[in-house]
Each structure stands twice: as structure tokens, then as C-alpha cells.
Structure 1
Amino acid sequence: MRSLLLAIISTTSLFLAACGTDSNVSTEVISDEPGTLIWGGSPATDGKGILLETADTTYGAPGSYEDYDEYFPENENSVEVIADFLITGEETAKGCEVKFPEIRLLEIEVIE
């Protein structure tokens, strides 16, 4: 009887763990969001790196200028875009430890 009870408890625990969700992890994808893609300077020198500024939020994205240079006109550090991105649920510290919600840019279209 005792081993049957342990087997049921173990199976129930595994089932609940497999079905559980982590509410701290976001998988929200935002599509066709207009905004400004900004190169705020190298984070290594207290710059802000790559930012996406929308109407209501400024997001931080990983990467360097070289990862996004095809989107910026010559001698420009910002450009108007329509973007699809994933909100990671994490925060990213940029510059002098300014924190932004972290995103992963999925698709970027420059507005002409």
C-alpha cells in the first residue's frame, strides 16, 4: 500500500510540474508596431545600445550597431520602423544601469 501511495504521489507531482507554467516568462509577440529604432552608443562606454522606442514604451534589444547597420541611413543613429518583436519578460540594463524591458526583434521594416 505504501509503495502504491508513493507511486501515485510521484506521478501526480510529475504531471503537475509538466503542466505548470512560469508566469515570469513572457512569450508575447507584438506585430506591426511603429516606432523608432535607435542606436544609443556602445553600452561598454555607457551608451544605451539598440533601443526600440514606441508610442508608450522604450525597449532594449541585444546586439551591436553592426547587427542592425543595414537599417540605419548613413550618418544616422535613428530610423522610423515598423517592427515585429518578442517581449522576453526580462529587463536589460543599458548605459548607466538604465533598465528597459528586453525584446528580441523578429522583423524590421524601415518606413520610407
Structure 2
Amino acid sequence: MNTTKSLTLFALLFVLVFNSCESSNSEYPVLYRAHTGTLSWGGSPEVDGSGLLFYTGNKTYGVPGDKSAFDHLFSPDTNQVDVRVDFLLTGEKTVRGWGTIYPEINIIQIERLPIGLK
């Protein structure tokens, strides 16, 4: 078997193994480190508010608790703050607002970013 055929076969096997690993059910929780985004308070979910949401890239996650747990991050009279977060994706779903469902996360570590750094 020549080198080109061997490399092609190896690449094909690699892709097949990688795809099977990607499509398998991951065990929760999953840890994510140093994601930057916006932590937002949209009012209590009990009265149709969105609660705490973490926006990063094109993903939005629901965060258990309320704004008071993160008061040290928010400026007075604001409901959004840019942050860097380590979090666990729990595998659970959380319902906010008028029935919008988000993946739930638990924040492990959080720090406020200077304005304009996100």
C-alpha cells in the first residue's frame, strides 16, 4: 500500500472516530473556562421576567438565582455587565419569561471586565 493510500485511510478513520465521539451523549456537568460575555438581569422569572442570563457569542444560558447574588458586579442602576466566567453546563433546562427555554449553567468563577474589553 503506498503512502497516499495509507494517509487517506488514516484520515478517513480519524474522521469516523471523531464524529462518533462528537455525536455520543456527553456526560454532564461540562466545565467551560474563561468565556467572556454579558450577565443580564431581566426581572424575576416568577413574574415573567428573564431572570439572570449569560450571553456569550451566539449562545444564551440561564443562571439560577437572582441579581443580589452578583450585586458586586453590577453598577448602580444597571442590569447588564460584561464578565469573564468559568461555568458548568448542568444538562438541565430552565424556563424564563414567557416560556423561553435556556440551557442551565452554574457559575463557578466570575469577574467583571473593564468597559470595552469584551
2-side partners of 1:82 and 1:24: how far apart? 24
Instruction: Look up the equivalent residue of 1:52 and give its one-letter code.
Output: F
* Greater radius of gyration (CA): 1
Instruction: Quote the residue 1:35 is aligned against.
Output: 37
Q: Match for 1:58 among 52, 57, 60?
A: 60
Note the C-alpha offset of 1:68: 1.3
- Runs of 4 or more above 3 Å deviation: none
1:44 aligns with 2:78: no
Instruction: Quote the residue 2:98 is aligned against.
Output: 96
Specify every segment of 5 or more residues in structure 2 that has no aligned partner in the other structure, as ranges: 1-24
Specify every segment of 5 or more residues in structure 1 that has no aligned partner in the other structure, as ranges: 1-22
2-side partners of 1:81 and 1:29: how far apart? 17
Note the C-alpha offset of 1:66: 1.1
Secondary structure at the aligned position of 2:68 is classed as: helix
2-side partners of 1:61 and 1:102: how far apart? 6
Secondary structure at the aligned position of 1:66 is classed as: helix
Instruction: Quote the residue 1:72 is aligned against.
Output: 74
- Conservation of the 8 A alpha-carbon contact between 1:30 and 1:85: yes
Are the structure 2 counterparts of residues 93 and 25 from structure 1 closer, same or farther at C-alpha, using a change threshold of 3 Å? farther
Note the C-alpha offset of 1:25: 4.7
2-side partners of 1:106 and 1:92: how far apart? 18
**Cα RMSD for the two superposed structures:** 1.2
Percentage of matched positions with identical amino acids:
40
**Count of equivalent residues:** 90
